[in-house]
């Protein structure tokens, strides 16, 4: 296997071997290189804070093996209709007052219907008026839907690839990898920034993590925001008994993501509630510079805001302007 390159190759040139070589570096060398790349593109100790709200919960027709909101699994989750606009705005105002800079709205849809999209566009306009960046994750989008969200002022659209193309069918059968890529293309064409990452710890192999990061880095424009989720194994889902991922392998994934996507915000997303402070500190050193703040991520737990503030103080981290 070739030696990992100190400087990233040109865009669209990351090979499987390039990314595999980074993963294979001694742990301290990988962290050193990732931290150098991070400091070359972002202020040291600068972390962007987002808040995520489930604006429509449950009854999703997709069969994503990890998701407690899927109708294919009995997780005890009660389905809820789309929240009223004023209730979403109230949550956004509270998130802003707690220090969030970006407000993300998630709805358990395969794809939003016209009336649903119209209501969500109104949410986007109202939340943006509070001075927050806006992000939405609503499932698959057609070009006209992406354009409607852009016209409403949406800043980011989240649509994760989840895993490698080869492993994808082990996780989801109700939509294809190409479906996801088409949505990302529609979002880009509408002028929206892209939030796109994946989930690790779903029983995939390192080769799948390599391919996930390689695919993200080789998109025509890499995502501005890259959430790296650690599986939250929810009872009742198909992955309820998935073996936990080695924590150092998770840190390696953060470090490799930082190197191959140097200008992207790399976000510690789902699974942070079960991570030790020490593990999170390693992730921040390896290049993570964004988190979700708040006590719940859609339907799963997240560290309390006070705990995050205390951890930031201990580590000398500051929130991005």
Query: Which residues does the annotation mark as catalytic?
Result: 60, 64, 67, 104, 135, 195, 267
Q: Which two tokens stand for residue 73?
A: 């699994």
300-301 and 296-297: which strand pairing? antiparallel
Residue linked to tokens 């992000």 = 135
Q: Which two tokens stand for residue 28?
A: 């301290």
Query: Backbone phi, then psi, for 60, in 5-degree steps?
Result: -80, 135
Cα 140 from Cα 212, distance rounded (Å)? 19
Terminal CA-CA length for the chain: 41
């Amino acid at each position: 296997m070739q030696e990992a390159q100190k400087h990233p190759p040109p865009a669209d040139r990351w090979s499987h071997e390039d990314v595999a070589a980074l993963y294979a570096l001694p742990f301290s060398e990988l962290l050193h290189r990732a931290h150098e790349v991070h400091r070359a593109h972002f202020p040291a100790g600068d972390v962007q804070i987002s808040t995520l709200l489930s604006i429509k919960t449950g009854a999703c027709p997709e069969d994503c093996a990890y998701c407690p909101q899927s109708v294919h699994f009995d997780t005890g989750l009660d389905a809820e209709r789309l929240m009223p606009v004023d209730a979403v705005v109230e949550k956004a105002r509270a998130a802003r007052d707690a220090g969030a800079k970006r407000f993300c709205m998630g709805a358990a849809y395969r794809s939003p219907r016209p009336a649903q999209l119209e209501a969500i566009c109104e949410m986007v306009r109202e939340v943006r008026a509070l001075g927050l960046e806006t992000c939405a994750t609503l499932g698959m989008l057609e070009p006209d839907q992406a354009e409607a969200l852009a016209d409403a002022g949406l800043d980011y659209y989240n649509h994760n690839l989840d895993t490698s193309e080869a492993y994808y069918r082990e996780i989801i059968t109700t939509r294809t990898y190409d479906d996801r890529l088409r949505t990302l293309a529609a979002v880009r064409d509408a002028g929206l920034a892209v939030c796109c990452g994946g989930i690790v710890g779903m029983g995939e192999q390192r080769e799948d993590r390599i391919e996930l990061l390689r695919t993200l880095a080789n998109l025509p424009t890499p995502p501005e925001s890259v959430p790296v989720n650690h599986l939250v194994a929810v009872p009742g889902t198909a992955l309820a008994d998935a073996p936990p991922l080695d924590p150092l392998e998770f840190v390696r994934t953060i470090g490799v993501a930082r190197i191959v996507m140097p200008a992207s915000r790399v976000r510690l997303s789902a699974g942070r509630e079960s991570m030790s402070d020490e593990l999170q500190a390693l992730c921040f050193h390896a290049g993570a510079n964004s988190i979700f703040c708040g006590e719940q991520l859609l339907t799963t737990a997240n560290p309390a805001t006070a705990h995050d503030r205390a951890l930031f103080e201990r580590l000398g981290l500051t929130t991005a302007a």
